Amino acid sequence: VCVCVCAGGCTVCVSVDSHSEVRYVCSRCGVPFVVKRNEPFKTERCTYHFGRANKHRENGVLVSTYSCCSSEAGSTGCQVGESHVWDGRLPSEMPQSGYVTTKQLTSTSTSSLLSMPKCFSLFSGELFSQSRPKVLAFDCEMSYTTIGLSLTRITVIDFHLNVLMDALVLPRAPIVDYNTRFSGVTAEDLHDVTTRIEDIQEVLLHLISSDTILVGHSLESDLKAIKMIHTCVVDTSLVFPHRLGAPFKKALKTLAAEKLNKIIQDGDSGHSSAEDAIIAMELMLQKVKDDVRKSSRKTTVRVR
């Protein structure tokens, strides 16, 4: 059986042998590889470019080079990974397995949350109050496992930029690449971690209602990571669209520089979900202020 799956912005073919193995195409280098069921993951050398191929003109000629090393598109990768990876999931697990849906909060939500010490300990207790936040921003970091990208860190902040949750998460599937350059998560970080995605979901369902506004950048990726269905969102990648339109998106790093004059995600230590969540909220707060200011000017002109 051949299943076409959207992975990493492009469609790849996943060949499924119902008895023994699944054949993937590596999301980084494009080389086919096999994952055998009920057997240890076999590592294979992966040579790839971690940067995007960007087009620009040189001496009047349109060329495409990678942002990571400035090499021409199609050249041999500048990075070497210990294994091939895939950022999707097994076809058998695709139909919303393990997903939860946010609901209207009840009057018992706070008391039931306080009865869960393990989950409640994920929160910054001094900041967590009886009232439910109306607006939250969050960001997730993911690492590659034998079944694709899985949640390894999540940060949730409130309207005032206070961190409500900053938790490391241990995936149930074995990790094959910590994706540290982008996730910021290392093997040492997860060494003693026992928190699972189900723990995160349990806490979030007591914190977030179906009416809570969730702010973030490319939120479809984060909601997939925590396996949550929520429709009340503000996505900065849509609020500040790319000049070429969909499917192109401005990176959060670009928006931070353009709109806030801030430098983020600088260096090889990886992204910070806390930093990214705060930047997403700051972008929207600045957007609201700018819109109010523009509206006030129009009103003043009309009165005159």
Per-residue confidence (pLDDT) for residue 266, from 0 to 100: 76
Task: Give, in degrees to the nearest 5, the angle at Cα 50 between 200 and 240.
Answer: 65
Q: How many CB atoms lie within 10 A of CB 190?
A: 19
DSSP state of 243: T
H or E segment at 65? Answer: strand 61-66
Residue whose pair of structure tokens reads 């523009």 in the numeric block? 294
Which of 2-6, 99-103, 291-295 has the least mean pLDDT?
2-6
What is the rounded CA–CA span in Å between residue 127 and residue 136?
Answer: 13
CA 279 to chain centre: 14
**Confidence bin at 223 (pLDDT 50/70/90):** very high
Tally the residues of the chain: 304
**Confidence bin at 245 (pLDDT 50/70/90):** confident
Per-residue confidence (pLDDT) for residue 260, from 0 to 100: 94
- pLDDT, one tens digit per residue, over 122-155 is 555 444 555 667 899 999 999 999 888 999 999 9
Backbone angles phi, psi at 173, to 5 degrees: -85, 150
Tokens linked to 297: 């000017």
Residue 111: pLDDT over 60: no
What is the rounded CA–CA span in Å between residue 276 and residue 74?
Answer: 31
| Cβ within 8 Å of residue 224, ≥6 positions away | none
- pLDDT, one tens digit per residue, over 34-62 is 877 667 677 788 999 988 888 888 888 88
Q: How many CB atoms lie within 10 A of CB 223?
A: 19
Closest CA to 141 of 98, 90, 181, 85: 181
CA dihedral 55, 51, 140, 171 (to 10 degrees): 140
Per-residue confidence (pLDDT) for residue 12, from 0 to 100: 46
CA dihedral 104, 107, 108, 109 (to 10 degrees): 50
- pLDDT, one tens digit per residue, over 59-108 is 888 888 988 888 888 899 999 988 899 887 555 444 457 899 999 866 55
DSSP string of 133-161, one letter each residue: PSEEEEEEEEEEETTEEEEEEEEEEETTS
Per-residue confidence (pLDDT) for residue 181, from 0 to 100: 87
